[in-house]
Amino acid sequence: MTTSAGINSIVGYPFAGNANNTTNGGLAVEVATATSGYVPLIPVGTITSVVDPYWGGLELIRLAVPTSTTAIVAGTLAVWDSSYQYVIAPNTANMGQSLGVSMSAIPLNATYVQYAWFVIGGKFPVLCGASVAADTAFGITAAGKGGAIANGKQIVNARVRTAATATVAKANTTLQSGSTVYKVANTDGWFVGLPLSGTGVAASSVITGIDPDNRTVTVNNAATASGSVTVTGTYNDGSANYWNTAILNRPFAQGQIV
């Protein structure tokens, strides 16, 4: 995925992004530099609008991720408490609680609080446990994951637009045998955790990092050949992770059913 230009009116307001680089300044994940008394560069609870060249307009909220939180996969469903502290969305019926979707992959940090953007409006991939048909409603099926609707677990104000069978191919991707770094024209539609395939792409390769230049991608397995090839990102790993692209409009977990 690409970075997103902020349309906030504050001069110098940091742009949002999903690169997997832990960076102060709002690019992806801001890490506190002290265990107490740290003031984040962007206050938690901040809501801003951005325009992404691939996904289009997005609305984001800034949340704090407590120390020792399990690593968060891009697209993970989240809720938050009164202090705007991230909590993975529980697989619980009738919550009646606002939801957000992690814009970035957020690593575990056992020492410091982290601060990151979560999507609450626009079109964006949502982590699910299965592919969901396009133009259908969906629900919560596991902690942090969407899927088929169950009573009391529908995600309201959200609808799948593209099933997790979607692919985004990048022609003329440069690979070097033995290297985990790929060079691409752009990373539109790609994100950390996305499975990749193609000539010279090692089996079970996934994206582990996207540089802020949006042209340099790091993967978990070294390339098996050199060349300029087409590399395809598939929105599922065929096992546990499926990213259905959804339209979101301040979604929330279904409340009481009477």
Answer with the residue of higher pLDDT: 185 or 17.
Answer: 185
Q: Name which of 45-54, 68-77, 133-142, 147-156 the model is least confident about.
A: 45-54
Residues 190 and 159 in one domain: no
Give CA separation, 98 vs 2, 48, 87, 123, in Å.
26, 16, 11, 17
Residues 72 and 185 in one domain: no
CATH number of the domain bearing residue 174: 2.40.30
Q: Judge contact between 179 and 201, C-beta under 8 A.
A: no
Q: Residues near 51 by Cβ (< 8 Å), separated by ≥ 6?
A: 4, 5, 7, 57, 58
Asked if the structure places residue 207 within a domain, the reply is yes
Q: Residues near 97 by Cβ (< 8 Å), separated by ≥ 6?
A: 79, 252, 253
Residues 119 and 176 in one domain: no
Asked if the structure places residue 20 within a domain, the reply is yes
Number of other residues whose CB lies within 10 A of the CB of residue 9: 7
CA separation for the pair 83, 68 (Å, rounded): 17
Give the number of domains in the chain.
2
Asked if the structure places residue 224 within a domain, the reply is yes
Residues 123 and 177 in one domain: no
- Domain containing 57 equals 5-163+242-253
The residues with which 248 forms a beta bridge, in sequence order, are 122, 158
Asked if the structure places residue 85 within a domain, the reply is yes
Q: In 3D, which of 7, 21, 124, 23 has the Cα closest to residue 77?
A: 124
Asked if the structure places residue 21 within a domain, the reply is yes
Residues 159 and 176 in one domain: no
Residues 196 and 74 in one domain: no
Model confidence at 3, pLDDT cuts 50, 70, 90, reads: low
Q: In the prediction, which pLDDT does 20 show?
A: 53
Residues 183 and 67 in one domain: no
CA separation for the pair 38, 174 (Å, rounded): 42
Asked if the structure places residue 258 within a domain, the reply is no
pLDDT tens digits, 171-216 = 999 999 999 999 999 999 999 899 999 999 999 999 998 888 889 9
Q: Name which of 20-29, 167-176, 211-220 the model is least confident about.
A: 20-29
Model confidence at 7, pLDDT cuts 50, 70, 90, reads: low
Residues 183 and 140 in one domain: no
End-to-end CA distance of the chain: 41
Fill in the amino acid letter for 233. G
Angle at 121 between CA 61 and CA 39, to 5 degrees: 5
Residues 159 and 190 in one domain: no
Residues 73 and 182 in one domain: no
Number of other residues whose CB lies within 10 A of the CB of residue 159: 18
Residues 32 and 51 in one domain: yes
pLDDT tens digits, 85-111 = 999 999 999 999 999 999 989 999 999
Q: In the prediction, which pLDDT does 25 show?
A: 42
Give percent of the chain with pLDDT exceeding 90: 80
Residues 220 and 248 in one domain: no
Structure tokens at 45: 């609870």
